[in-house]
Amino acid sequence: MSQENVETARTIYPGPLDLAAIFASPEALDAARAQLEPFFEPDFETVHDPAAVGLAIGAPSDEGVSEGTDGFIAIWRDFLSAWGSWVVTPTGFIDVDDQRVLVLLTYEGRSQTHGAGMTLNGGNLLTFRKGKVERLQLFFKRRDALEAAGFQE
C-alpha cells in the first residue's frame, strides 16, 4: 500500500502550484477542490503551526487544526490574501511507512504590498487510511517535517 500512497501524493502535488492564484479565483479553487477531493477523507484533518516562522496561518486563536476541505480553505484564505504569489513545489517524496508519506516542498512567496520575496524549505506529512489522506501536517521548516516523520536532517 505504501507505494500506492506515494503515487497518490505525486498526484496531489503534481508540480509547482501558485496557491495565491488558485485561491484568488473562485473558478480555479472550485476546480482544484474537485480534482483533489477524491484523494482525501471527507473529514480529513489539517494540522499546522499558526506561529510557524512568523507566518500567521489561521486566526490568532487558531488551535492549529481544521477538518475537511472547508477547514483547509479557511486556514489558507486569509494567509494567501497577503501574497501576490505563493508557489509550492514538491522536491521529494519519502515513503515513511505503510500509512505515511513525507512530501518535501519549497515555498516561494512574493508579498502583495511590497513585492518582497522569500523562499522556505518545508514539507507536508500525509497520513493515509485505505488509500485516502486522513491527516495532513503542514511544516514551513524542513527540519520539523523530517522530525515529525521520524528522520533527522
Structural domain spans, the chain: 2-148
pLDDT at 62: 53
What pLDDT does residue 153 have? 60
- Classified as helix, coil or strand, 79 is helix
Backbone phi, then psi, for 44, in 5-degree steps? -55, 150
The CATH code belonging to domain 2-148 is 3.10.450.50
Q: Which pTM value belongs to this model?
A: 0.89
pLDDT in tens, 43-61: 999 887 655 544 545 444 4
User: How far is the CA of 36 from the CAs of 68, 69, 83, 100, 101, in angstroms?
Assistant: 12, 9, 23, 18, 17
